[in-house]
Structure 1
């Protein structure tokens, strides 16, 4: 299992303090090899055992293995050549993809009578593209502009329906989380595509995909790119076509 596979599967087990420490470790990159466990513990005014427990929750034997595997993963990326930030995002996002999860998601899409997308702001654009592409292959799919209508439709879903929630933050206090929660209570299958973090939306849904992004706010407004989200929705659609439809690559 790769370094990023372990993070993707186990990061949800971390508490808020451990998440903060993990973010600090990930920010240090290759310099982490020269960092001691006591230095990290001292930075957060905690004990070395806290750091060890954190890495073990992520399925590493301890801090040393975490460091070595992380640095090895970074070197693999660098071996692919000089990377731009967008290239880096895609490589990291691709490493997070679990093919078993993809298979379960394509099956859920195939079996769903209706597919509702929950997304607001900039996340609505990959949702709308995905929805329109699903319509081309005969799926009943819908996106929403008004969050009130989105939440209303969520609560009248059935166990034969699928909710796909897309959010970079995946935060609890959001219209997307509220709609997803209502759809889950109604009995629908739920799927989320979020930024790479231990977030409330991912913890709520039945199936999850994670993408790397670079958070950006301008004048207090969210301007974070959805490049990795577009990548994941395209990847998921391609796998769905490959599994359940004859692939016609001709264009008009």
Structure 2
């Protein structure tokens, strides 16, 4: 995956889903990350009152290459700026402080998302989208924003795309989808019932499904053919608009788009130039009409 941090995020998010012996190791590592990176696998097994075999199983549960991979990621976490947490705003807080808090959380979310993206899965998603006849994006609530952003981006490079937030309209489109299409369900929780139903329908039609959810096991990530994840960073109480999770989702959409664009570089440039010229022509035409009406 080529990632050198994010070990502590993986442990924190997966801890409750691990067997008891692996939970004990995770608890020890989270409480003693600096000591862990200097240990051997047998020393960690002894300190956590488990075994080296349990440490190996933990690494497999986290889908890592081994204990050295885990230590490398933890060491990368330790070398980073201390996480800022949710840092909710306070009554009558100075604007300068709000700027710092919102920016810190945004940066933390994007860094964690980059750490959690599996390049192999991303490449599979890129290839499916690049070769798709049509791409259908679906999300509700705040997750509708990245769905619409994705449609706008891919339409600009001549990829037939739709984006729906209404489950009835989404179901209508997916019911008529072809086997060469792709359906992408976006849900931060991974449990949004409307998105679950859309992916179920897509799978019945034999359509490739991609999910974009917060890191960890969920109904949507488990049922999708390709599962992509964003940072699991919690929203602060005052941030019910899902600010950081939306940024993370948009970040992944941007990565998908740029990767597809890179795979078909020459045609992408041609399509972007054509759409840019078309938009300019509309703007100039609108400007001329306004000038005439003012005259």
The TM-score normalised by the length of structure 2 is: 0.65
Match of 1:72 among 54, 58, 75: 75
More displaced, 241-250 or 195-204?
241-250
Offset, 1:103 = 2.8
The total of aligned residue pairs comes to 241
Match of 2:198 in 1: 179
Offset, 1:134 = 0.9
The TM-score normalised by the length of structure 1 is: 0.74
| Distance across 1 between alignment mates of 2:105 and 2:137 | 28
Match of 1:168 among 183, 188, 193: 188
More displaced, 84-93 or 217-226?
217-226
**Structure 2 residue matching 1:190: 3-state secondary structure:** strand
Offset, 1:75 = 3.0
The residue correspondences of 1:124-139 to structure 2 (distance < 5 A) are: 124-139=144-159
- CA separation of 1:208/1:76 partners in 2, compared to 1, >3 Å: closer, same or farther? farther
- Whether 2:73 is the aligned partner of 1:54: answer no
- CA separation of 1:136/1:66 partners in 2, compared to 1, >3 Å: closer, same or farther? closer
Match of 1:92 in 2: 112
Match of 2:160 in 1: 140
Judge conservation of contact 1:163–1:190 (CA < 8 Å) in 2: yes
Judge conservation of contact 1:212–1:228 (CA < 8 Å) in 2: yes
| Distance across 1 between alignment mates of 2:18 and 2:257 | 36
Task: Please provide the CA RMSD for this pair.
Answer: 4.2
- Whether 2:219 is the aligned partner of 1:200: answer yes
**Structure 2 residue matching 1:151: 3-state secondary structure:** helix
Q: Could you give the per-residue CA deviations for residues 116-169 of structure 1, whole angstroms, max 9, x where no partner exists?
A: 111111011111011011111112111113122223332332202110111111
- CA separation of 1:200/1:32 partners in 2, compared to 1, >3 Å: closer, same or farther? farther
- CA separation of 1:233/1:38 partners in 2, compared to 1, >3 Å: closer, same or farther? same
Match of 1:44 in 2: none
- CA separation of 1:214/1:54 partners in 2, compared to 1, >3 Å: closer, same or farther? same
- CA separation of 1:235/1:25 partners in 2, compared to 1, >3 Å: closer, same or farther? farther
Unmatched 5+ residue regions in structure 2?
Answer: 38-43, 83-102, 281-295
Q: Could you give the per-residue CA deviations for residues 146-194 of structure 1, whole angstroms, max 9, x where no partner exists?
A: 12222333233220211011111112x6111110111011011111111
**Structure 2 residue matching 1:84: 3-state secondary structure:** helix
Judge conservation of contact 1:213–1:228 (CA < 8 Å) in 2: no
| Distance across 1 between alignment mates of 2:259 and 2:252 | 11
Match of 2:249 in 1: 229
| Distance across 2 between alignment mates of 1:158 and 1:11 | 40
- CA separation of 1:129/1:222 partners in 2, compared to 1, >3 Å: closer, same or farther? closer
Judge conservation of contact 1:11–1:197 (CA < 8 Å) in 2: no
- CA separation of 1:9/1:111 partners in 2, compared to 1, >3 Å: closer, same or farther? farther
